[in-house]
Amino acid sequence: MAAKTTLNAKNLESLGAPRLAELLIEISTGSAARKRRLRMELAGNHGGVEVAREVRKRLASIARARTFIDWRKVKALKSDLETQRKTITETVVVDDPKEAFELIWQFLALADSIFERSNDGSGSLLQSFHQACEDAGAIALAARIDVSVLADKVFKAMQDDGYGQYDNLIAAMAPALGKDGLNRLKTLFIQWSKEPKDTPAEDKREIIGWSGGSPIYEDEIHGNHRDLTVRIALQEIADAQGDVDAYIAQQPEKTRKTPTIAADIAHRLLSAGRAKEALETLDKADMRSWTAMPFEWQLARVDTLEALGNAEEAQAYRWECFERSLHQEHLRAFLKRLPDFDDLEAEEKAFAHAQAFPEIHHALGFFLNWPAPAEAAKLVVTRKTELDGDLYELMTRAAEALAEKHPLAATILLRSMIDFTLDNSRSSRYKHAARHLADCASLAPHIDDFGNAKSHDIYVAELKRRHGKKHGFWSLVT
């Protein structure tokens, strides 16, 4: 049973409403965020109208603000935005969906003013606006907003998506827009694309850069931005309508040969039951070299071969892809389709191939991710001279993974980083190298046989002989 002083709702209830009210006033003093939360709760006692009024006031206040939001203030603003968004979607919408829609649209309109004065490297604030787009779609559906009005709003928003805040808006709004709304939205974008682009007089055109000695004008970039916005919007509308041909039509002929774009088109054709066309699309992709083919293209090809009933060819291609790239997803898919026990033999064959793979670090990453620590240890011990100690993220990760059961391999990995640091006089890494040496000392008693590797004492003696004058390093060694 919890103690009577444990902080939980039941124990706090024993204080009584008057005392709790006093404490809330005391705790909220000096905290604008807590005061806003309390006011919101009080407004809730008077119905959705009062809550909506409080949200509207707060959104207007955020819109008027002009102070810069540095990284230290992002968390507080994120919390504030989430409070307003959740109040709209969880409270206001219950009483008045149409009012909730107006509020969520007011919320979305904050994006430009916020991003213009903020430093949000984490993308945390952008996530709130992407979620608000999803919320707007659900609320619009519940409020039964007129599809023409909704299409106009979406169109105006998408015209100025400077920070990517509306990237998922069309997809989110598609159910509420329906067939008629999507057609209207499509028409609006097509009309916009045909409007003449205003070109200012030569002496008034703003130069924003240079290319090959020629000026780049702001109005040229603006025109390109419009074309790109229209193309992306029409692609999203085509997806929402399930119109594969309309999606393909928005891709320039040259762009369709880009492997990633070809893969996107192929997946859409597969979903439409057009596997033969999907394969033709993939075959037309620019294949200057096998290594240039991204995983998405390879996966699309496998899926297409499966859809065409060419299961054996698909399996052969999976294995080929694995042999060339050591991509574990190809191997997992290959093994999954083998009969019982055949998969064990194939896995052994895959491991043998990885052991001999030309790029040792790629092979090491594969064994760590599979995971196959014993194979990783074997690779490290047999090919230790090929290790690059400069790849400290991989080396550290591998050493930590192997330390308990494969101390010799872990020691070799740690030594690779120590040697690189000292051989190249990387003084900024001396403290890490000293720590690695201490780790080697703690692993040494657990190594029964160093094989052709030097014992710890001999290794340290050689370090002192080669790098004895690097006092910055030795002063850190305990």
**Number of residues assigned to the chain:** 478
**Dihedral angle over CA of 415, 418, 421, 427, nearest 10:** 170
Do residues 454 and 462 lie in contact, with contact meaning Cβ atoms separated by under 8 Å? yes
In a domain, 44, yes or no: no
**Among 67-71, 300-304, 414-418, 433-437, where is mean pLDDT lowest?**
67-71
What is the rounded CA–CA span in Å between residue 165 and residue 154? Answer: 12
From the list 443, 418, 416, the residue with the least C-alpha distance to 430 is 418
Q: pLDDT of 121-179, one tens digit each?
A: 789 999 999 999 999 999 999 999 999 999 999 999 999 888 999 999 999 999 999 99
Q: pLDDT of 259-315, one tens digit each?
A: 999 999 999 999 999 999 999 999 999 877 666 689 999 999 999 999 999 999 999
What is the rounded CA–CA span in Å between residue 245 and residue 268? Answer: 9
Q: What's the structural domain count of the chain?
A: 1
- pLDDT at residue 22, as a whole number: 64
**Among 50-64, 298-312, 350-364, 379-393, where is mean pLDDT lowest?**
50-64
In a domain, 386, yes or no: yes
In a domain, 113, yes or no: no
- pLDDT at residue 453, as a whole number: 95
What is the rounded CA–CA span in Å between residue 441 and residue 451? Answer: 17
Cα–Cα–Cα angle for 248, 252, 258, nearest 5°? 85
Concatenated DSSP letters for 220-247?
Answer: HHHHHHHHHHHHHHHHHHHHHHT-HHHH
Among left, alpha and beta (phi > 0; psi -120 to 50; other), residue 47 is: left
Do residues 99 and 52 lie in contact, with contact meaning Cβ atoms separated by under 8 Å? yes
- pLDDT at residue 173, as a whole number: 98
Average pLDDT on 452-477 reads 96
From the list 228, 270, 263, 265, the residue with the least C-alpha distance to 249 is 265
What is the rounded CA–CA span in Å between residue 100 and residue 77? Answer: 21
For the chain, give the mean pLDDT.
89
Confidence of residue 211 (pLDDT cuts 50, 70, 90): very low
3-state secondary structure 406-466: CHHHHHHHHHHHHHHHHHCCCHHHHHHHHHHHHHHHHHHHHCCCCCCCCCHHHHHHHHHHH
Which residue has 């606006």 as its token pair?
Answer: 129
In a domain, 137, yes or no: no
In a domain, 398, yes or no: yes
Q: Which domain holds residue 466?
A: 360-478
In a domain, 127, yes or no: no
- pLDDT at residue 217, as a whole number: 47
In a domain, 222, yes or no: no
- pLDDT at residue 288, as a whole number: 72
Average pLDDT on 60-67 reads 93
- pLDDT at residue 441, as a whole number: 97
In a domain, 364, yes or no: yes
